């Protein structure tokens, strides 16, 4: 079932989770151990992130270095199918422009279609860690909207090889990303919203937001979207803070603020176990307020912390 149909068919607030594929070499059992306890909350869908390969330097025996491309977290398409098979819950496959040619993207979409995965979250991806700017792959897409257009084309039976006869029309429901605190490369919120509107006008059926720790940022973002003529559901993305280190890592990685009240409480903590208690309570209060405001879905980035998510969701259901 499509994400948009879940939202349309039930007026209450849905629950959904986002997981990462395991690091290469790890089995899928670690993922099941992470997800199994969360299934009691009956998520309407589960997102699986997509990861580009990273350039790494490997030392050779003569002391010089070889640059190699390593994909650390492969498996998104297979995991989506395994989730649907194991839990009978819809999976949402993330798709990114970075590191993929149009042909590779088309093949991934064909696989997803064959496997009965009807939901994709279409993203650009970021620059590799050791590069400052995002550059598309040769034959790849520069912006998420271009990738979206490729998915929309396949939904209309148009593949890259133009003369295919009676090509199957796929049936993907497409979501896109939105940024309550602005995408870090956008010159201002207004420009960012123009590009977001272009994605929605091109066929995106809902928006999932970057994480935020101050609900006002989400509420203001929804208002700004509506004023800009963006009228699709906007799903809030939520993540717990559970270590002191995250006070610097989260803003640097995700370009979001941690409110002074929260950082103040975290700085008072003696151990990360104490931080986890503070982070859980903060996420719980955020979730309660968003649910009371009638958000369509509470979407949790589980990121190795299923116990926190579990405690929060248990308390709000």
Candidate list 22, 125, 236, 240; residue touching ligand FAD; CB under 6 A:
125
Query: Any idea what the Cα angle at residue 298 is, between residues 49 and 151, rounded to 5°?
Result: 40
**Minimum CB separation from ligand FAD for residue 109, in Å?**
15
Q: Is 192 in the site for ligand FAD (CB under 6 A)?
A: yes
Which positions ≥6 away from 208 have C-beta within 8 Å? 47, 121, 175, 176, 177, 178, 235, 237, 299
**Minimum CB separation from ligand FAD for residue 274, in Å?**
29
Candidate list 3, 117, 144, 297; residue touching ligand FAD; CB under 6 A:
144
Return the residues of window 86-105 that contact ligand FAD according to CB under 6 A.
94, 96
DSSP 177: E
What is the Cα 53 distance to its own chain's centre? 17
Helix (H) or strand (E) run with residue 108 in it = helix 102-114
Q: Is 195 in the site for ligand FAD (CB under 6 A)?
A: yes
Q: Is 4 in the site for ligand FAD (CB under 6 A)?
A: no
Q: Is 13 in the site for ligand FAD (CB under 6 A)?
A: no
- Kindly tell me the sign of the dihedral angle through the C-alpha atoms of 135, 140, 144, 145: positive
Residue with smaller CB distance to ligand FAD, 134 or 167: 134
| Cβ–Cβ under 8 Å, residues 182 and 221 | no
The SS3 call for residue 20 is: coil
Residue with smaller CB distance to ligand FAD, 195 or 219: 195
Q: Is 143 in the site for ligand FAD (CB under 6 A)?
A: yes
Q: Is 124 in the site for ligand FAD (CB under 6 A)?
A: yes
Q: Is 49 in the site for ligand FAD (CB under 6 A)?
A: yes
Q: How many residues bind ligand FAD (CB under 6 A)?
A: 21
Q: Is 183 in the site for ligand FAD (CB under 6 A)?
A: yes
Candidate list 126, 257, 272, 281; residue touching ligand FAD; CB under 6 A:
126
CA distance 38 to 317: 13
Closest CA to 305 of 227, 238, 224, 219: 238
Candidate segments 46-54, 104-112, 265-273, 277-285, binder of ligand FAD by CB under 6 A = 46-54
Which positions ≥6 away from 302 have C-beta within 8 Å? 17, 18, 19, 34, 38, 309
Candidate segments 47-55, 85-93, 107-115, 304-312, binder of ligand FAD by CB under 6 A = 47-55
Q: Is 50 in the site for ligand FAD (CB under 6 A)?
A: yes
Q: Is 177 in the site for ligand FAD (CB under 6 A)?
A: yes
Reading the block at residue 94, the tokens are: 């993330």
CA distance 243 to 266: 8
Candidate list 75, 180, 237, 279; residue touching ligand FAD; CB under 6 A:
237
Candidate segments 105-113, 142-150, 213-221, 263-271, binder of ligand FAD by CB under 6 A = 142-150
Which positions ≥6 away from 288 have C-beta within 8 Å? 316
In sequence order, the β-bridge partners of residue 316 are none
Count CB atoms within 10 A of the CB of residue 3: 28
- Residues at the interface with ligand FAD (CB under 6 A): 49-51, 94, 96, 123-126, 143-145, 177, 183, 185-186, 192, 195, 208, 210, 237
């Amino acid at each position: 079932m499509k994400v948009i149909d879940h939202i349309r068919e039930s007026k209450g607030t849905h629950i959904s989770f986002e997981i990462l594929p395991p690091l290469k070499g790890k089995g899928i059992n670690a993922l099941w151990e992470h997800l199994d306890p969360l299934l009691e909350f009956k998520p309407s869908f589960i997102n699986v992130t997509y990861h580009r390969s990273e350039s790494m330097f490997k030392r050779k025996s003569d002391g010089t270095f070889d640059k190699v491309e390593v994909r650390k977290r492969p498996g998104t398409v297979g995991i989506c199918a395994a989730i649907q098979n194991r839990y009978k819950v819809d999976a949402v496959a993330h798709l990114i422009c970075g590191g993929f040619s149009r042909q590779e993207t088309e093949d991934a979409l064909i696989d997803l279609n064959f496997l009965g995965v009807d939901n994709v979250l279409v993203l650009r991806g970021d620059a590799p860690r050791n590069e400052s700017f995002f550059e598309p792959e040769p034959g790849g897409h520069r912006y998420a909207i271009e990738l979206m257009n490729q998915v929309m084309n396949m939904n209309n039976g148009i593949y890259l090889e133009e003369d295919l006869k009676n090509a199957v029309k796929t049936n993907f429901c497409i979501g896109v990303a939105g940024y309550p605190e602005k995408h870090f490369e956008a010159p201002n919120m207004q420009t960012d919203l123009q590009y977001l509107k272009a994605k929605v006008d091109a066929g995106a059926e809902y928006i999932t937001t970057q994480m935020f720790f101050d609900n006002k940022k989400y509420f203001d973002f929804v208002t700004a979207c509506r004023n800009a003529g963006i009228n699709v559901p906007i799903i809030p993305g939520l993540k717990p803070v559970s270590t002191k280190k995250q006070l610097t890592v989260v803003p640097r990685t995700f370009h979001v603020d941690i409110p002074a009240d929260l950082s103040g409480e975290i700085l008072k903590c003696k151990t990360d176990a104490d931080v986890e208690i503070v982070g859980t309570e903060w996420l719980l209060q955020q979730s309660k307020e968003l649910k009371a405001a009638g958000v369509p879905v509470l979407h949790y980035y589980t990121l190795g912390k299923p116990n926190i998510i579990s405690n929060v969701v248990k308390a709000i259901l």
